[in-house]
Amino acid sequence: MTIVRCSFIVLLALAVAHSAAAQAQPVDAFRIGAPNIVKPAPTTPADPASQRQLEDAFLSTQARTDLSLSVTVNFRQLNRAEYLVPISIRIAPGSELVAGRGRTSRLDFLAAVADSNGITFADLRDAVELTLGPASIADLATTPIVYDAAFTLLPGRYTLKVLARDQTTGRIGTSNVTFTIPNLEKQRAQ
């Protein structure tokens, strides 16, 4: 009976030590935005010149690299015809933003999904305010900021164009990703 109690105490001590170590680990990403979640509108107003800069950069064919962006696209079948396409936009390192200096950053996100003919099937326009506490600012040097969104699409070949901008500094990053959603129902029938 004593051996069982000692083993239980050792296991309990190991579990406590493991959970304390896990809590001490830095976060893997600062997540902002999420599919299907209604967020309050940012309190920082956008001026017309700023909006024009955003639209011009989005329509331009030249890549903008003031902010380092990477985009991940996945898909999951919802029903026989439609697929949920979650995307993750990573800004890394996050220290490029004003939020890394302890102030509020307003981040603008634009995205559009188009087919090979240039027909837009889905688009996104969002603005998010990001303010970090003093304890989190140091983590921005190694931790990306991730914006999550999702679209519902039919099978086909698409191009996703994404733009992110730190409105405070005017820094812009763009990315183009080509992806294919296979028709799984057609493949199953064969």
DSSP letters spanning 60-92 = -SS--BSS-EEEEE--EE-SSS-EEEEEEEEES
* 84 or 13: which leads in pLDDT: 84
% residues pLDDT > 70 (the chain): 72
Residue 9 reports pLDDT greater than 50: no
What is the pTM (predicted TM-score) of this model? 0.71
pLDDT of residue 99: 63
Domain ranges of the chain: 31-183
- The lowest-confidence range among 57-61, 79-83, 98-102 is 98-102
pLDDT of residue 45: 52
pLDDT of residue 107: 86
For the chain, counts of helices (H) and of strands (E)? 4, 9
- 190 near 116, Cβ under 8 Å? no
Distance between CA 120 and CA 123 in Å, rounded? 7
pLDDT of residue 100: 58
The CATH number corresponding to 31-183 among 2.40.160.10, 3.10.180.10, 3.50.40.10, 2.60.40.3880 equals 2.60.40.3880
pLDDT of residue 78: 93
Q: What is the pLDDT of residues 142-167, one digit of tens each?
A: 778 889 999 999 999 999 999 998 88
Residue 65 reports pLDDT greater than 80: no
Please give the average per-residue pLDDT across 59-81, as a whole number: 86
